[in-house]
Amino acid sequence: MPIVNRELIEKLPKTDLHCHLDGSMRVSTILSLAESYKIRLPADNEDDLKKIIVMEKGCSSLVDYLKVFDVTLLVLQTDEALERAAFELAEDAAKENVRYLEVRFAPILHTNSLLPFEKIFESVISGLVRAEKRYKIKTGLLVCGMRNFPYEISHMARRLHDRLYTFTDKELSLQLALHTAKVTTKLSQQYPTIVGFDIAGPENGYPAKDFYEAFQEIINGHVSITIHAGEAYGPESIEQAVKYCHAHRIGHGTRLIEAKDDSKLRTLYTYFKDKRIPIEICLTSNVQTGTVPSLEKHPIKNFLEDKLRCTICTDNRLVSNTTVTDEYMRLIETFNISKEELYKLIIYGFESTFLPYEEKEAILNEVEPILKRELLAK
Ligand SMILES: [Zn+2]
């Protein structure tokens, strides 16, 4: 018997701090947008499309997992589509009592209809704000630069490639990330929904420290930073993210466990504990990308026992076929988690948001008594 049932998990106020817009759409919406825009998808009905997009059994690597996004990106190229996808994602999260959601997306992947770059940000913000007005949910937007050069799927990337033909793909991807960072800092002054910056895409061969300039731009603009690291690459990528790019949180961070018994990197492990750097844990996605061989082998339990600050996230609700409730249930059913640990995990989520201090405090004051009553009362 699990320590708590699904009904209670669903009812509890929760956060999701690592959730990709293009990996968390509804299948029905992908089909409906494709029909409106006369876009050919690899399948024309929900069941067949799900077989292509949803990673039921997992795939061989992060690179394979990322290929699925080419399908959802086909339909996410207009302001209406972006607004709708953002609204529906926040709506789905609100319906399972996610009280605070941070959605991330890479604007550069949504340039194929030649929308002005800033309009791409604004469309997603508009969908999130619309959901906030209708549901009891607060949202934040994390803007991603891309580690690789998205030549096949981004019009802006192709145009740049044609014009700056003396640049290598690597140099171009650094320029695109820098441009994205500049627009992020500029728009963050105007839109409080923009709370952070990240770099996404394949880790191997694209170290975070190469994007130093983009992160410097973000640091100068006083915007928060989270970085995908320690998923497809070892603890060195996590070290770079905190040391060179000043990450306030780490996306995945799974392979930080390898630092624990490494004579050179052991202090990185304790640094995470001492500085209370949050780790955005995505259990299902980590199994599907082969980051861990099985759910049982995920280091979450070690992290909790070692008092690291972890928060449970979905990564991609559609591609990983999951919800925040599902992630908590998998955690509870697989590991010997106590109610106290569960309480801490949920609170860590609220403590790790990129919200301004007063707003974070207000939500914490609201959810703490509920969580105490439901999980800690004897
Ligand atoms: Zn991710």
**DSSP string of 104-128, one letter each residue:** EE-GGGG-TT---HHHHHHHHHHHH
What's the whole-model pTM score? Answer: 0.95
Confidence at residue 62, expressed as pLDDT on a 0 to 100 scale: 67
Q: Where are the beta strands (DSSP E) in the chain?
A: 14-20, 98-105, 138-146, 194-200, 224-229, 249-252, 279-281, 310-312
Question: Is position 209 within any domain?
Answer: yes
Instruction: Examine the residue annotation and report whether 102 is marked as an active-site residue of this protein.
Output: no
Q: What is the pLDDT along the chain (378 residues), one digit of tens a residue?
A: 778 899 999 999 999 999 999 999 999 999 999 999 999 999 999 999 998 888 876 666 666 777 788 889 999 999 999 999 999 999 999 999 999 999 999 999 999 888 999 999 999 999 999 999 999 999 999 999 998 877 777 777 778 788 788 888 888 889 999 999 999 999 999 999 999 999 988 777 788 889 999 999 999 999 999 999 988 778 999 999 999 999 999 999 999 999 999 999 999 999 999 999 999 999 999 999 889 999 999 999 999 999 999 999 999 999 999 999 999 999 999 998 999 999 999 999 999 999 999 999 999 999 999 999 999 987
Cα(202) to ligand 1 centroid in Å equals 10
Q: Is residue 297 part of a domain?
A: yes
The CA 20 to ligand 1 mean position distance, Å, reads 6
Residue 176's H or E segment, with its range, is helix 169-190
The rounded Å distance from CA 63 to ligand 1 centre is 12
Q: Are strands 279-281 and 14-20 parallel, antiparallel or unpaired?
A: unpaired
The residue annotated as part of the active site, out of 83, 122, 231, 341, is 231
Residue 202: inside a domain, yes or no? Answer: yes
- Residue 191 is assigned to a structural domain of this protein: yes
- The pocket of ion ligand 1, defined by CB under 5 A, consists of 315
CA–CA gap between residue 130 and residue 124 (Å, rounded)? 10
Q: What is the pLDDT of residue 68?
A: 81
Distance 52 CA to ligand 1 centre (A): 19
Question: How close is the Cα of 295 to the center of ligand 1, in Å?
Answer: 17
Residue 56 lies in a domain: yes
Helices (H), 261-356: 266-274, 283-288, 300-305, 324-334, 339-351
376 close to 339: Cβ distance less than 8 angstroms: yes
Give the pLDDT of residue 279: 98
Residue 128 covered by a domain: yes
Give the CATH number for residue 260. 3.20.20.140
Distance from the CA of 377 to the center of ligand 1, in angstroms?
Answer: 35
How many whole angstroms from 200 Cα to the centroid of ligand 1? 7
Query: Which two tokens mark 120?
Result: 């791409």
* pLDDT recorded at residue 60: 64
* 1 in a structural domain: no
pLDDT of res. 127: 98
Residue 122 structural domain: 6-376
Domain count, the chain: 1
Residue 360 domain-assigned? yes
